[in-house]
């Protein structure tokens, strides 16, 4: 076997691998003998077919396998022995490749190999930019506390309907429906607010809800099947009135929402805790904005020279649906992506960033504690946590996402510590408006509380009551990395 090296000191090198018959003959002969022992050939017992017939049937495919193995072994050895840090993958040069199984005396495989350019990540060259910190707005904290009070509140059955009550009605022939009074429009509220249990209201169902979605939910039909072309006048009899009384902010309430390692004793501590949780939910948005700006700055101010012709050939070979014309238009985006991948890998090496298995397990454990078991003592649920961690570790897709997310966090920490930034602390509404032009939506102020006079026994007679639990916001996973960068 001969290996011919060309353009060794250039960014794109050329490597030719010549494989002669002597290189693969013994391997093919052994494979033929093995094949003969098990081949089932009509007219011959297993293992007794003539070798000439076995060669005619299997030799070409066995030569192809042997030559292919030798070629990849030589290519990999060349890369490792010469300590080449390559871009993409070696690309075959078709017009310099000789493969002819009718004349198998010599095979020649020729490749282009692009070596990664040397460069230095110089954070000082990146101009200063704005790093946002999102502060929880007072209204958001108020809403957080109100939701928490409702979660720990009590249901009761008041005498009359008010704006936030849950109502069950009967109408038509054995039909029943449910709605919240605050899902009604002004006309609907005028008809129902103040009505008592057992009273009857004559209504056109099509005209009393604030939108078609609420109407469809009441009628229990898909919204797309609604037909409002004709009035739908019915007599509705109030069967049940349900009211959620938010928990009082007293010692009992604070004890319920506290945990051993995270006690909350008063409203001030609760507001502080709420602000921290709200800001943690926004951290992903501001973190992504910081990373986007940091990547832009580093790519634009780091001198990296990529072999454009080779990179275009690599992209075309990796993405079968890509055309040369489309690639010419989109190549700048690919180039930026390739450069950031090189910079990111250099940051990992420079800072010895490593994510071990224990760090992943701790991340999974803390995720379940903070999202599902915040009110429990950790030692009491240790076995349950261990089982959840073990199950998650078996999921390869989730595991990769967690590794990527932890790597991203470490890289983000390096960038925050090294890049020049000016911190700007704003609310999320201001952040969304400043960056994306999204105007904040106005929310109605919470209504004043009212007392419930009906007994708990009355409450139990309801046919349906709204669920007391609320789904927690789901954390987003970090985006998956790809071996071949995609255009943005």
pLDDT in tens, 392-405: 999 999 999 999 99
What CATH number should be reported for the domain whose range is 2-114? 3.30.70.1050
Confidence band for 370, pLDDT divided at 50, 70 and 90 = confident
Residue 343 · residue 350 · CB < 8 Å: no
* Residue 262 DSSP label: B
Residue spans of the domains in the chain: they are 2-114, 123-143+264-443, 154-245+450-478
Query: How far, in Å, are 283, 328, 401, 405 from residue 480 at the CA level?
Result: 19, 26, 6, 9
What CATH number should be reported for the domain whose range is 154-245+450-478? 3.10.50
CB atoms within 10 A of CB 17: 22
Q: In the structure encoding, which two tokens stand for residue 301, read together?
A: 């101010």
Select from 418, 415, 416, 399 the least CA-distant residue to 478: 399
Over the chain, what is the mean pLDDT? 86
Q: In the structure encoding, which two tokens stand for residue 37, read together?
A: 């022992």
Interval 62-81 mean pLDDT: 93
Q: Is the pLDDT reported for residue 477 higher than 80?
A: no
Q: In the structure encoding, which two tokens stand for residue 396, read together?
A: 């390869």
Output the pTM of the full model: 0.68
d(CA 336, CA 217): 48
Identify any residues that bridge with 299 across adjacent strands, giving them in sequence order.
Answer: none
Q: Is the pLDDT reported for residue 460 higher than 80?
A: no
123-143+264-443 CATH, one of 3.30.70, 2.60.40, 3.40.30, 1.10.3120: 1.10.3120
Query: How far, in Å, are 357, 388, 391, 400 from residue 394 at the CA level?
Result: 12, 10, 5, 11
Q: In the structure encoding, which two tokens stand for residue 133, read together?
A: 């910190």
CB atoms within 10 A of CB 125: 13
d(CA 68, CA 65): 5
d(CA 229, CA 455): 43
d(CA 139, CA 150): 16
pLDDT of residue 268: 94
């Amino acid at each position: 076997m001969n290996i011919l090296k060309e353009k060794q000191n250039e960014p794109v090198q050329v490597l030719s691998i010549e494989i002669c018959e002597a290189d693969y003959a013994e391997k093919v002969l052994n494979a033929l003998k093995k094949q003969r022992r098990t081949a089932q050939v009509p007219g011959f017992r297993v293992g007794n077919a003539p070798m000439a017939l076995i060669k005619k049937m299997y030799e070409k495919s066995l030569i192809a396998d042997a030559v292919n193995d030798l070629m990849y072994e030589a290519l990999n050895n060349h890369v490792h022995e010469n300590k080449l840090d390559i871009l993409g993958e070696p690309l075959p040069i078709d017009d310099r490749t000789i493969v002819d199984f009718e004349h198998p005396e010599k095979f020649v495989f020729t490749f282009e190999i692009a070596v990664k350019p040397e460069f230095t990540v110089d954070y000082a060259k990146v101009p200063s930019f704005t790093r946002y910190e999102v502060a929880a707005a007072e209204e958001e904290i108020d809403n957080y506390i109100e939701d928490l009070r409702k979660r720990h509140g009590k249901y009761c059955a008041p005498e009359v309907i008010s704006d936030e009550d849950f109502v069950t009605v009967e109408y038509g022939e054995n039909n029943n429906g449910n709605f919240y009074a605050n899902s009604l429009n002004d006309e609907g509220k005028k008809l129902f607010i103040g009505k008592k249990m057992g009273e009857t209201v004559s209504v056109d169902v099509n005209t009393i809800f604030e939108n078609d979605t609420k109407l469809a939910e009441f009628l229990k039909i898909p919204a797309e099947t609604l037909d409002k072309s004709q009035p739908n006048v019915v007599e509705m009899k109030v069967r049940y009135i349900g009211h959620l009384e938010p928990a009082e902010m007293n010692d009992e309430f604070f004890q319920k929402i506290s945990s051993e390692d995270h006690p909350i004793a008063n409203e001030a501590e609760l507001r502080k805790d709420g602000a921290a949780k709200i800001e943690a939910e926004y951290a992903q948005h501001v973190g992504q904005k910081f990373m986007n700006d940091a990547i832009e700055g580093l790519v634009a101010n780091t001198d990296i020279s990529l072999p454009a012709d080779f990179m275009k050939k690599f992209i075309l070979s990796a993405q079968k649906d890509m055309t040369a014309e489309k690639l010419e238009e989109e190549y700048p985006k690919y180039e930026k992506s390739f450069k950031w991948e090189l910079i990111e890998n250099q940051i990992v090496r420079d800072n010895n960033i490593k994510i071990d298995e224990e760090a992943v397990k701790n991340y999974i454990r803390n995720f379940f504690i903070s999202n599902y078991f915040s009110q429990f003592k950790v030692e009491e649920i240790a076995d349950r946590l261990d089982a959840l961690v073990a199950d998650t570790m078996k999921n390869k897709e989730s595991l990769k996402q967690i590794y990527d997310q932890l790597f991203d966090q470490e890289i983000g920490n390096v960038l925050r510590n090294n890049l020049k930034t000016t911190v700007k602390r704003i609310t999320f509404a201001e952040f969304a408006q400043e960056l994306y032009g999204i105007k904040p939506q106005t929310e109605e102020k919470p209504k004043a509380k009212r007392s419930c006079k009906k007994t708990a026994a009355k409450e139990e007679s309801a046919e349906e009551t709204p669920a007391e639990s609320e789904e927690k916001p789901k954390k987003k996973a970090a985006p998956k990395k790809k071996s071949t960068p995609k255009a943005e």
